[in-house]
Amino acid sequence: MGTLKVSNLCKTYIINKRQNNVLRNVNLTIKEGEMVGVMGPSGSGKTTLLYTVSGMDSATAGRVEFYGKDLTGMKANEMSDIRLNEMGFVFQQMYMLKNLTVYDNIILPGYQTPEGKTKEGRRKINDRAKVLMQTLGISEIAENDINEVSGGQLQRACICRSMINNPKIIFADEPTGALNKQNSIEVMEELNRINQAGTAVLLVTHDMKVASKCERVLYIEDGDIRDEITLGRRLGRAEDRTRERTLNDWLIGLGW
């Protein structure tokens, strides 16, 4: 069973009576613990795909199964429980709360779960937050206000927050979009590390270097997956050049 199984997924927006078929019969499976990148031209439907398969937005037609459960027919409160307990999100639009510290933003989704309702559970959440912040190198900004940190630190804080409930999958929309080269490398190292520890990752990116760190890359065009390439699991930096070259040649072949 895959983590995520998407069958004949369609998403249509209607604006001023005009129909825009953004996703057209998309089929895809994300295996347990797999890291998959989504690339494609601007407006091809990448972000819409991410929102629709993660239950952030509803599908017009088709089916999305998450560990065998159909998300498309699910009630809103059941869906939000799954999002909270089993999924992590690194979306640029999902800003952290400005009147809370970095640390409080990170633990908040933990405190909203049943685990967070007991003292012992909250202790575990606090411990996890500290370990995550240490791993991502942001312990020293724990008590900073959200607007007192750099873009790279904020993005790492978002990753900590997305990991706080030990999700089975992380959805990331341009996780390195607002970062400089060095921060971007570091964030990808973290996502690779999280993935190697067993969490599946589905990320959207325009950046070839970022996509080359994924096990498999999908190319979406006009709302459907036109092609995909399997690069295999990334084992270390030594193979980055080869992966980038392979991906680049494939993208050129697709007219990217």
Contacting positions for ligand ATP (CB under 6 A): 13, 15, 20, 22, 40, 42-48
Give the 3-state secondary structure percentages of the chain, helix then strand then coil, rounded to 5: 40, 25, 30
What's the min distance (Å) between Cβ of 62 and ligand ATP?
16
Closer to ligand ATP by CB, 47 or 183: give it. Answer: 47
Helices (H), ranges, the chain:
46-53, 76-86, 102-111, 119-135, 151-163, 181-196, 208-211, 240-253
Residue type, 4: L
What's the min distance (Å) between Cβ of 204 and ligand ATP?
6
- Spatial contact of 2 and 31, defined as CB atoms under 8 Å apart: yes
Closer to ligand ATP by CB, 160 or 217: give it. Answer: 217
Report d(CA 174, CA 29) in Å as an integer.
21
What's the min distance (Å) between Cβ of 46 and ligand ATP?
4
Closer to ligand ATP by CB, 130 or 206: give it. Answer: 206
What's the min distance (Å) between Cβ of 18 and ligand ATP?
10
The encoded tokens of residue 55 equal 């239950």
Closer to ligand ATP by CB, 22 or 157: give it. Answer: 22
Report d(CA 228, CA 29) in Å as an integer.
12
Residue type, 147: N
User: In angstroms, what CA-CA distances link 36 with 12, 82, 127, 135, 254?
Assistant: 24, 21, 29, 23, 18
What's the min distance (Å) between Cβ of 80 and ligand ATP?
19
Closer to ligand ATP by CB, 13 or 95: give it. Answer: 13
